[in-house]
């Protein structure tokens, strides 16, 4: 599955966790990432869309460094707790493709999201902080309205004192 143009975003958006993103060239990844944002948008995203329960959706892709692309993929699954209250378990994955380490995970977490609630995941790295907020509403037996936003804030270098 290789995109020939950014117009194939919808087909790749739902590419499952078994898809080999590293099989795409830098140019293909760069073209794909441009379908998510413009350069002016920086390293943040907002998504609000209906998705099928259990199916992964790519919420964001950006080029963190030349040839290193960071993906955010969400998988919402309708469930219910011990008291029978429905909620959506959202698996949040952030991983990078390319760069010196090849493919590597940055975040893999699951959050239980009840109606009208938002869950936030934040991870700090030496290079900066990445945070993702997710909210979800059950629309039907198999459909979820998934809302998510995320941002990466690069760390400000600290000047050395002598």
- How far, rounded to the nearest angstrom, does the alpha carbon of residue 69 sit from its chain's CA centroid? 12
Per-residue pLDDT of the chain (162 residues; tens, 9 = 90+): 333 333 334 444 555 556 777 788 888 888 888 777 655 456 788 889 999 999 999 988 888 778 888 888 999 999 999 999 999 999 998 888 887 766 677 778 999 999 888 999 887 776 778 889 999 999 999 999 999 998 887 777 666 666
Q: Identify the burial level of 20 via C-beta atoms within 10 angstroms of its C-beta, where 0-12 means exposed, 13-18 middle and 19 or more buried.
A: exposed
CA angle 123, 127, 131 (to 5 degrees): 30
Tell me which CATH code domain 6-154 carries: 2.60.98
- How far, rounded to the nearest angstrom, does the alpha carbon of residue 137 sit from its chain's CA centroid? 18
């Amino acid at each position: 599955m290789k995109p020939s143009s950014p117009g194939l975003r919808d087909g790749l958006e739902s590419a499952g966790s078994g898809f080999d993103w590293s099989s795409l060239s830098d140019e293909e990844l760069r073209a794909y990432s441009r379908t998510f944002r413009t350069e002016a948008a920086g390293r943040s995203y907002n998504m609000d869309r209906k998705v099928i329960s259990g199916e992964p959706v790519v919420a964001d892709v950006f080029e963190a460094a030349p040839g290193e692309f960071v993906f955010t993929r969400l998988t919402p699954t309708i469930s219910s707790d011990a008291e029978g209250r429905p909620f959506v378990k959202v698996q949040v994955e952030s991983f990078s493709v390319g760069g010196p380490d090849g493919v590597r995970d940055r975040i893999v977490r699951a959050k239980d999201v009840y109606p009208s609630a938002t869950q936030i995941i934040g991870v700090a790295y030496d290079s900066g902080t990445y945070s993702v907020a997710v909210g979800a509403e059950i629309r039907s037996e198999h459909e979820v309205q998934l809302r998510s936003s995320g941002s990466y804030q690069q760390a400000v270098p600290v000047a050395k004192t002598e």
